[in-house]
Structure 1
Amino acid sequence: MSTTRLLLLGVVRIFQPAYGYQLRRELLTWNVQDWANINPGSIYTGLRTLAKHGYLQELEQDGAHRPGRTSYKLTTDGETEYFSLLRGMLWTVDGFHPDKMQATISFMWSLRRDEVIAALEARITQLESWLKSEPFSERQILEDPGTPNHVVEMFRITTARDSGELQWTRDFLGRIRNGDYSFAGEPADWTPYPGMVTHWGEIPDPPPRTS
């Protein structure tokens, strides 16, 4: 649910104000139905739920309250929730939910470079700690007569995933330290088509509160 919320808030933030159909079409180009377990038909429902909770403002066209006719933009609370989710997923490793980091990469550019570097350093520390402890968890399984030995493979596949992510994180951190990619307050390293990203490279002021 947190991944879905970040994706919806993040894509609205890029295009705002944007129609539900536009947002749905964009997310499907990211193949979210495959890696984020988002049913394409649930995107409209998710947008309405976020509006109900005060994270999005609905802008109706000609009084029509229909999925394809309603546009959305973030509220002040939505902006706060967006950054809270983004930072939570960036700073915390969750090996059983790789979709969280996948979504984080999609919006990492809205943070400053120094924060991303610090967060990746923290992720490396977390992963190194896990990898150091996993052999002892494996030994406990093998020494426990009441646990089937094949259970140890659950720890081994986790170790393989953690090892792979650790190597990628180290490499990714190196690229960012060397100046790759663009982050908040920096010139864009790509050219979005007109009207797509209105605040690339800027740190926008929060939207005004609405009554």
Structure 2
Amino acid sequence: MNPTRLFVLSALAKGGAMYGHQIRRDARVDRADLWSDVRPGSLYGALHRLEDEGLVRALRTEQEGRLPARTVYEITDEGRRELAVLQAEALEEVRFPPDPVDLALATTSDMDEATLRGHLEDRVRDLTARLSRLDHLGERRWPDQTPADDLVLEHARLRLRAELDWHALVLDQLGKVGVSE
């Protein structure tokens, strides 16, 4: 399942005809980077590939003043069918990609405990900062925020809290990991 394809097709299905910059702006406004692998810079390439596949079509090219020309795209009937398939795949797929920290932890027998503890405490600080950013984001509303957006935000928070709980467990049991003293 390709999240960028899903995002572009759903943006066009929901918002109607748009040009690439509008879709990119929607990705930023919707905070797509917080809850998906969608990167705003990848949207233009995805639009061109979707057009090549007949899932979107260029309606017209517009130019205002000295601004660059912009191509306005719309989703096709085939694109709507593809969108339904991508949504179903995304809803059915459970993805927990392997975290490199697990491999690193499993291979730390030659690392001294203080160094490992330092790395893990750095990760805890990073995770805590990410959770704090999400908490602050949850306190502020963004344009067009929906109940579904609230649930996605809470999903991200819960996953970060689970990571923090796991890190606390590892730090508590660090002496049992088998690292060198």
More helix by share: 2
TM class, shorter-length: 0.3 to 0.5
Name which one, 1 or 2, has greater alpha-carbon Rg.
Answer: 2
TM-score by length of 2: 0.47
